[in-house]
Amino acid sequence: MSYSYLSHLDCPQCGLTYEPDSVQQLCSCGSPLLVRYKLNEAREQWSRESLNRRKPDLWRYHELLPVRNPAYTVTLGEGMTPLVKLPRLGKDYGIAELYMKDESLVPSGSFKARGAAVGISRAKELGVQKLAMPTNGNAGAAWALYAARAGIEATIVMPKDAPIITRSEVALAGANLYLVNGLISDAGKIVGQAVADMGLYDASTLKEPYRIEGKKTMGIEIAEQLDWEMPDVILYPTGGGVGLIGIYKALQELAEIGWVQGKLPRLVAVQAEGCAPIVRAWEEKKEYSDFWEDSVTSAFGINVPKAIGDFLVLKAVYETEGKAVAVSEAEIVAEQEKVARLEGSFICPEGAAAFAAARKLSLEGWIKQGEKVIVLNTGAGIKYPDTVQVNPPLLEIGERIPSDTTSRSTH
């Protein structure tokens, strides 16, 4: 029994392989590298029953994670988030088996903590002392916080329009924080230059191979939470797309070690109409996406005009007979309210986009009667205070609530 069945890294573009126990960034061909495991050994030696005695966090799957020595694990208890059944919303959509995988319940309030926990742990194991990354906010917050716990120095660059609270998270963690008067793609260029100038570890999306390994645990958890039965459809709000790539990778690995059987779920990449490069590529049946000019959406985490892993996202969608769907800003806002009113969950705008897509695809009949559907809510709505406008009445001390108030119906 190994703690990790880590084997090597390989390139999904040119097929080159790399040994994993020193720092590797992109392949020499420019593609992201993927982590590979000795799945045959895992299949023979590891059993689902071993999980019963383990803590409810993502490290319960350490055999399929890249950290070799548990002493390097940097954890704040992330993972095993709830898979919540949503009967009232499901009725509204016409989806009897509707579930939310609720990624607001992780440190820093977004699913980015998964990638940060595994990415930082592995960076620590490899001896990294300084890293840099561009971010739309939440990833930078998560990486800055885990880096602090690991004693790694982080430099974070984010668009000035990224959620304000993520600045506080980065700064409080003691990281070096810069804003850029542009988009994440502009932040990426600044980080690239800094990496070259100062010899930093480049923790940009998919420029190190381990973040995806953290994200893939969402897929393993969904499988475990459904008792190792596959759902029919998984909807995922897609910016860089690492979560979707990770979920696909997880389910393939689980199939290979024999823990799940049958057809993989159809994976749906959801984007905003104001930034939908993956959707356009999918509609045109292309392998890669084009840079989306003048992108804009309130779902800031998916404002990614060109993702380095676009071809991996599109491959996952094509191979599972999934779909790429864009939703409007109005649909996002409306769906965020709907989920709160019917199910009591204050989801983030990115999650709301995925829910809006589920509604649409059910209406269109693409999601069929009786299918089991999982929607990823990638973070906490409380990180986006400006998405909700509130003007409650102000009472003076001793004043009464007008008695017709409670005749206002809940929706």
CB 210 within 8 A of CB 35: yes
Query: By CB under 8 A, what part of segment 326-365 binds its own copies?
Result: 336-337, 340-346
CA distance 296 to 276: 10
Backbone dihedral angles phi then psi of residue 16, each to the nearest 5 degrees: -60, 145
CA distance 192 to 206: 13
Out of 16, 96, 363, 388, the only residue in the binding site for its own copies (CB under 8 A) is 388
Please report where in the chains the tokens 């999918």 appear, as a residue.
282
Task: Verify binding: residue 23, its own copies, rule CB under 8 A.
Answer: no
Q: What is the amino acid identity at position 364?
A: E
Q: By C-beta, is 9 or 223 nearer to its own copies?
A: 223
Query: Which 3 state secondary structure label does DSSP give 282?
Result: helix
> From the CB of 393, what's the least distance to its own copies, in Å?
6
Q: By C-beta, is 141 or 314 nearer to its own copies?
A: 141
CA distance 290 to 329: 22
Query: By CB under 8 A, what part of segment 197-216 binds its own copies?
Result: 197-198, 200
Out of 168, 229, 288, 290, the only residue in the binding site for its own copies (CB under 8 A) is 168
Ramachandran sector of residue 15 (left: φ over 0; alpha: ψ -120 to 50; beta: rest):
left
Query: By CB under 8 A, what part of segment 257-316 binds its own copies?
Result: none
Q: By C-beta, is 117 or 327 nearer to its own copies?
A: 117
Q: Which stretch binds its own copies (CB under 8 A): 251-259, 287-295, 299-307, 401-409?
A: 401-409
Q: By C-beta, is 1 or 394 nearer to its own copies?
A: 394
Q: Give the H/E segment covering residue 249.
A: helix 242-256
CA dihedral 377, 378, 382, 385 (to 10 degrees): -100
Tokens of 198: 């100062």
Out of 126, 171, 226, 255, the only residue in the binding site for its own copies (CB under 8 A) is 171
Task: Verify binding: residue 254, its own copies, rule CB under 8 A.
Answer: no
Beta strand residue intervals within 188-329, DSSP E:
201-202, 233-237, 266-272, 323-327
> From the CB of 171, what's the least distance to its own copies, in Å?
4
CB 297 within 8 A of CB 322: no
CA distance 26 to 31: 6
∠ CA 128-130-131 to the nearest 5 degrees? Answer: 95
> From the CB of 385, what's the least distance to its own copies, in Å?
5
> From the CB of 410, what's the least distance to its own copies, in Å?
4
> From the CB of 216, what's the least distance to its own copies, in Å?
20
> From the CB of 263, what's the least distance to its own copies, in Å?
27
Q: By C-beta, is 149 or 280 nearer to its own copies?
A: 149
> From the CB of 54, what's the least distance to its own copies, in Å?
11
> From the CB of 88, what's the least distance to its own copies, in Å?
8
Q: Which stretch binds its own copies (CB under 8 A): 201-209, 252-260, 284-292, 379-387?
A: 379-387
Please report where in the chains the tokens 């003048």 appear, as a residue.
294
Stretch 44-63: interaction string toward its own copies, x if CB under 8 A: --------xx--xx------
Task: Verify binding: residue 26, its own copies, rule CB under 8 A.
Answer: no
> From the CB of 279, what's the least distance to its own copies, in Å?
26
Q: By C-beta, is 95 or 145 nearer to its own copies?
A: 145
Nearest of 120, 81, 107 to residue 217 by alpha carbon:
81
Nearest of 378, 381, 374, 379 to residue 100 by alpha carbon:
374
Out of 10, 63, 125, 169, the only residue in the binding site for its own copies (CB under 8 A) is 169
Task: Verify binding: residue 186, its own copies, rule CB under 8 A.
Answer: yes
Q: By C-beta, is 95 or 170 nearer to its own copies?
A: 170
Q: By C-beta, is 190 or 255 nearer to its own copies?
A: 190
Distances (CA, A) of 335 to 355, 366, 380: 7, 19, 15
Out of 69, 80, 184, 203, the only residue in the binding site for its own copies (CB under 8 A) is 80
Beta bridge partners of 374: 99, 234
What Rg value do the Cα atoms of the chain yield, rounded?
Answer: 21
Cα diameter, the chain: 74
CA distance 33 to 28: 10
Query: By CB under 8 A, what part of segment 144-163 binds its own copies?
Result: 145-151, 153, 155, 157, 160
Task: Verify binding: residue 105, its own copies, rule CB under 8 A.
Answer: yes
